[in-house]
Amino acid sequence: MVLLLLLVMLTSCAAIPQDLSDKMFTFPQETNTSHVRLTTSRQNLGAVSVCLRFFTDLKRAHSLFSLAAPSVFNDFLIFKRVASDEFEVWAKDRYAILYGQDYKLNTWHSVCSTWDAASGVMQFWLDGKPSSRKFVRSGSNINGPILIVLGQDQDSYGGGFDIKQSFVGMMADLHMWDYVISPCEIHSYSEQQIFTLGNVLDWSALEFQISGKVLIEDYKKTC
């Protein structure tokens, strides 16, 4: 009875939005289990915009943001490739490669990516610098129940984690919108100026559950 009560309390606490302003998630080791699952009530997305900040020294491929549905495991995925200047953005199990990115290890970077279901066009920004606009896939929305995971790439719905695609480092200031945000908003985000907070995921009111070795620590980009 006590154990059941404890489980209910933990579940309830995890469902309460938390203000993570000036905080970050730290993923301190390579695993195929540790991750953060994010919760949203939005379950039908005709467009997606995601922005986040991260810091890592990984030279291998790794996932930065993974959104899956029961029938489409890569419904929206931001993925760092092995090559230092290359990223992938996936939508509806199709992807585009973004080349020529000015990426460095052991540096805080901001990434933003947008995709529109009607046009099928996506775009990517690293530290406020845009990529070419590229077609990925069009014609259908992202439909729930969706699962959003940080720290791992979902190769199946809510699982299928590969240790060699796991994230090791720090993440902060994640926001997600159900529309394509403007380049001006992305510039404001990358420069840490005032911007419109996410209406799907908002770092200052985030619902999440931590599994495994993930820490919540103070986020200070500079002294």
Q: Taking the model in full, what pTM does it have?
A: 0.91
- Contact between residue 67 and residue 89 where contact means Cβ atoms under 8 Å apart: no
Q: What Rg, from alpha-carbon coordinates, does the chain have?
A: 17
Q: CA angle 201-204-208, nearest 5°? A: 55
Question: Where does the pLDDT of residue 212 fall: very low under 50, low under 70, confident under 90, or very high at 90 and above?
Answer: very high
User: Which H or E run contains 10?
Assistant: helix 2-14
> 23-218 architecture in CATH?
Sandwich (2.60)
Backbone angles phi, psi at 170, to 5 degrees: -125, 150
- Which residue ranges make up each domain of the chain? 23-218
Q: pLDDT at residue 8 above 60?
A: no
pLDDT value, residue 220: 76
Count each helix (H run) and each strand (E run) in the chain, helices first: 2, 18
User: Whole-angstrom Cα distance, residue 190 to residue 130?
Assistant: 11
Q: pLDDT at residue 9 above 80?
A: no
